[in-house]
Structure 1
Amino acid sequence: MSNVNNIGYVTFLSVVAALGGFLFGYDTAVISGTVSQVSTQFSLTSLQSGWYVGCALVGSIIGVLFAGTLSDGFGRKRTMILSAILFTLSAVGCAISSNLDQLVLYRIIGGVGIGIVSIVCPLYISEVSPASHRGRMVSLYQLAVTVGFLGAYLMNYFLLDLSVDFSSHNALLQKIFGTEVWRGMLGAETLPALMFFLIIFLIPESPRWLLVKGQESKAVSIFSKIYNNTSVIAHQINETKSMLQSERKSDWKILLTPGIFRAVIIGVAIAMLGQFMGVNAVLYYGPSIFETSGLSSGDSLFYQSLIGMVNMGTSVLALLIIDKIGRKKLVYVGVSGMVISLLLIGFYFMMGKSLGLSSIFLLVCFLLYIFFTAGSISAVIFVFLSEMYPTQIRGTAMSIAGLSLWVGTYLIGQLTPWMLDTLTPAGTFFLFAFMCLPYMLIVWKLMPETAGKSLEDIERYWLKSKKG
Structure 2
Amino acid sequence: MITTCVLAALAGLMFGLDIGVISGAQQFIQAEFKVTDHVIEWIVSAMMAGAAVGALGAGWMSASLGRKRSLLLGAILFIAGSLFCAAAWSPHVLILARFILGLAIGIATFTAPLYLAEVAPERIRGAMISTYQLMITTGILLAFLSDTAFSASGNWRWMLGIIAAPGALFLVGLFFLPDSPRWLLLKGRRKDAQVVLARLRGDETLVEKEVADIEDQLKTRQHGWSMFRENANFRRSVGLGVLLQAMQQFTGMNVVMYYAPRIFKDMGYDTHAQMWFTAAVGLTNVLATLIAFALVDRLGRKPILYAGFTIMAIGLGVVGTMMGIGIDGRGEQYFTVAMLLLFIVGFAMSAGPLIWTLCSEVQPLQGRDFGIACSTFTNWVTNMIVGATFLTLLSGFGNAQTFWLYAALNAVFIIITFWLVPETKGISLEQIERNLMGGKPLRKIGR
**Coarse TM-score class (shorter-chain normalised):** 0.7 to 0.9
| Counterpart residue number, 2:150 | 159
Q: How far 1:67 sits from its partner (Å)?
A: 1.7
Which amino acid counterpart does residue 104 of structure 1 have in structure 2?
A: I
1:311 is aligned to 2:302: no
Q: How far 1:400 sits from its partner (Å)?
A: 1.7
Which amino acid counterpart does residue 379 of structure 2 have in structure 1?
A: L
Q: 1:265 to 1:76 in 2, by over 3 A?
A: farther
- The DSSP-based 3-state class of the residue aligned with 1:34 is helix
1:401 is aligned to 2:392: no
Residues 94-133 of structure 1 aligned to structure 2 (within 5 Å): 94-129=85-120, 133=124
Provide, for residues 26-78 of structure 1, a one-character-per-residue CA deviation record: whole Å limited to 9, x for no partner.
12221223333333333434443333333222212221221222223333222
| Counterpart residue number, 2:76 | 85
Residues 416-435 of structure 1 aligned to structure 2 (within 5 Å): 416-435=390-409
Which amino acid counterpart does residue 54 of structure 1 have in structure 2?
A: S
Over the matched positions of the two proteins, sequence identity in percent amounts to 32
- The DSSP-based 3-state class of the residue aligned with 1:204 is coil
Q: How far 1:85 sits from its partner (Å)?
A: 0.9
TM-score normalized with structure 1 length: 0.81
TM-score normalized with structure 2 length: 0.84
1:17 is aligned to 2:8: yes
Residues 19-418 of structure 1 aligned to structure 2 (within 5 Å): 19-129=10-120, 133-161=124-152, 163=153, 181-219=155-193, 241-247=215-221, 250-256=223-229, 257-351=231-325, 358-389=332-363, 394-418=368-392
- The DSSP-based 3-state class of the residue aligned with 2:400 is helix
**Cα distance in structure 2, aligned partners of 1:124 and 1:440:** 33
Contact 1:68-1:396 at 8 Å conserved across structures:
no
Contact 1:72-1:209 at 8 Å conserved across structures:
yes
**Cα distance in structure 2, aligned partners of 1:130 and 1:280:** 33
Which amino acid counterpart does residue 278 of structure 2 have in structure 1?
A: Q
Which amino acid counterpart does residue 288 of structure 1 have in structure 2?
A: R
Q: How far 1:123 sits from its partner (Å)?
A: 2.8
- The DSSP-based 3-state class of the residue aligned with 1:138 is helix
Q: How far 1:460 sits from its partner (Å)?
A: 5.8
Provide structure 1 residue ranges, at least 5 long, that are not aligned to the other structure. Answer: 1-8, 164-179
Q: 1:455 to 1:23 in 2, by over 3 A?
A: farther
Provide, for residues 122-177 of structure 1, a one-character-per-residue CA deviation record: whole Å limited to 9, x for no partner.
2333344466654443222222122111211222232344x5xxxxxxxxxxxxxx
**Cα distance in structure 1, aligned partners of 2:197 and 2:282:** 37
Provide, for residues 239-263 of structure 1, a one-character-per-residue CA deviation record: whole Å limited to 9, x for no partner.
655554343x645224444444332
Q: How far 1:315 sits from its partner (Å)?
A: 2.0
More contact order relative to length (CA 8 Å, sep ≥ 6): 1
Contact 1:135-1:322 at 8 Å conserved across structures:
no
Provide, for residues 77-117 of structure 1, a one-character-per-residue CA deviation record: whole Å limited to 9, x for no partner.
22111110100111222333444443332221111111222
**Cα distance in structure 1, aligned partners of 2:435 and 2:346:** 29
**Cα distance in structure 2, aligned partners of 1:21 and 1:64:** 14
Which amino acid counterpart does residue 65 of structure 2 have in structure 1?
A: F
Contact 1:240-1:456 at 8 Å conserved across structures:
no
Provide, for residues 274-323 of structure 1, a one-character-per-residue CA deviation record: whole Å limited to 9, x for no partner.
11111111222222223323333333332222111111122234334444
**Cα distance in structure 1, aligned partners of 2:325 and 2:195:** 63
Q: How far 1:328 sits from its partner (Å)?
A: 3.8
Which amino acid counterpart does residue 345 of structure 1 have in structure 2?
A: V
